[in-house]
Structure 1
């Protein structure tokens, strides 16, 4: 069945429907990963977005039970050149088309994704609609111009109630702004006693859990749309070690007095090179974000840049000068993507160890 993809700048594409047949409006973005489409479609950070996959064949290894990053995907739609109808992989359990139908997510194939990506790179991310072939593109454009994109994505994807993921190691409070399961998996592998809490938990609520460290997760949207989280982080600084990822990185920057801004078309994919300034080591990283920290706004703050993106020089890592706290813009849990930066979780473990040791030494001196 033919369907339309219409962009707010007037461009439109005719393609074939797969997945759900509902009409949807969202922000059209592109991702450059060659693999990892299952992790991408289930990443809560894509809430409200219609994702263009630049790799030409999507769905070729099907859908399996193990590679999900959330239980209920919040992606608004998928745009591909070709959707594979006969996947081949020993873990395959259903086709991409079957899964999207179950989750009521629309897709459109047969689109010139190279042309679409060049449009997004020229104009920036655009509002778009996947809709019936019977629609008039000019009427859809008018509808798009009068449509406001979502601003409450974090509230939609965050857990509503706290829950534990027990371990016998460090107690880590993981603040869920749209947490990928890969982050929780990395903490579990290090035997952390994790408590996942909602995005609007206060600093005092968190400290009542007696954490050894606090993890700030990834998540969708503009960090300035979550002011309660900014205040929570501000009140936690200096009281407990902090590690932030993606949206957590941006919220940490805002809480420390810096500023964030929207990028033209963002970073999405699993092939983004990042350099650590202290060592000049380059890691290939997985990324998914529309906003970045303004480096000029770091002046007169207590945070400094630790990592930069080699493609465009944007800020990819921060460290607090006084307190045990650091963040990265990319995804060290590698879901999907390379595992170059996985050691950052061990760095967080060491930070908690050192903080506990210092507190213990201080207590002995005061005894």
Structure 2
């Protein structure tokens, strides 16, 4: 089961539907409906932190969930969830270089993690005015994707199965969104089998 934390965003159920289309069972809870202990007790194979309209400090349990999650629990953050990953591990969330609401950008990536098998320079839809700052990124995080102007579009933790994407793979205007999510589900299966 994939547990999706809903950060009060209209895109959350697009994520839910994509994940279900890929054959995974899902359970959705608002970011303030459960405690971290309750979330972890559900025994999910993976957790997705959804987009949302605010900043990581106002994303309910997301920051604390990232702090308390077992080292082998696969977690993916999308947009706000991605920013929460950056912030909780020591990065800084700052105003983006450009406000991007409903605009597509080519995404250049390293082909690892959630980007496995995806063509470089694929188009992805962005809806954000904040971003994780590149200049002061902590050493535990790896930049896995960037825009042409150097804005971080993907992060992964170097020792934990945690991945974030700033863009929206669940948007119909994003290419390869299903594959990004399938790659995350594959990571969930690997970590669940290793546990």
Deviations 1:271-303 (A, max 9, x none): 211101348811101110010001122133x11
Match of 1:193 in 2: 25
What is the SS of the residue equivalent to 2:135?
Answer: helix
Partners of 2:6 and 2:59 in 1: how far apart? Answer: 12
Correspondent of 2:147 among 300, 309, 312: 309
Mapped partners of 2:97, 2:186: distance in 1: 36
8 Å Cα contact 2:50/2:81 also seen in 1: yes
TM-score normalized with structure 1 length: 0.48
Q: Decide whether aligned partners of structure 1 residues 306 and 264 sit closer, same or farther in structure 2, where only a CA change above 3 A counts.
A: closer
Deviation at 1:257, TM superposition (A): 1.4
Unpaired stretches in structure 1, ≥5 consecutive residues: 1-170, 360-367
What's the RMSD between the two structures over aligned residues?
1.9
What's the CA shift for 1:191? Answer: 2.3
Match in the other structure for 2:3: 173
For residue 155 of structure 2, what is the aligned residue in structure 1? Answer: 318
- Secondary structure of 1:210 counterpart: coil
SS of 1:267's partner is: strand
Distance 1:256 1:356 in 2: 23
Partner of 1:293 in structure 2? 132
The CA deviation string for residues 301-337 of structure 1, in whole angstroms up to 9 with x for no partner, is x111000011x211000001101111100011123x1
Aligned residue-pair number: 186
Residue aligning to 1:219: 52
Distance 1:197 1:227 in 2: 11
Instruction: Report the alpha carbon displacement of residue 237 of structure 1 after superposing the two structures with TM.
Output: 5.1
Q: Secondary structure at the match of 1:175?
A: strand
Query: Matched residue of 2:23: which SS?
Result: coil
Q: Is the 1:334–1:342 contact (alpha carbons within 8 Å) kept by the matching residues of 2?
A: no
Aligned to 1:206: 39
Query: How far did 1:206 drift?
Result: 0.7
SS at match of 2:191: helix
Larger Rg: 1
Work out which structure has the larger RCO, using CA pairs closer than 8 Å and 6 or more positions apart in sequence: 2
Which residue of 325, 350, 358 maps to 2:186? Answer: 350
Secondary structure of the corresponding residue to residue 298 of structure 1: coil
**CA distance in 1: counterparts of 2:143 and 2:70, whole angstroms:** 17
Q: Deviations over 1:228-265 (max 9, x none)?
A: 42122111151411011100000111111111101254
- The CA distance in 1 between the partners of 2:43 and 2:176, in whole Å, is 31
Distance 1:338 1:229 in 2: 25
The answer as to 2:63 corresponding to 1:230 is yes
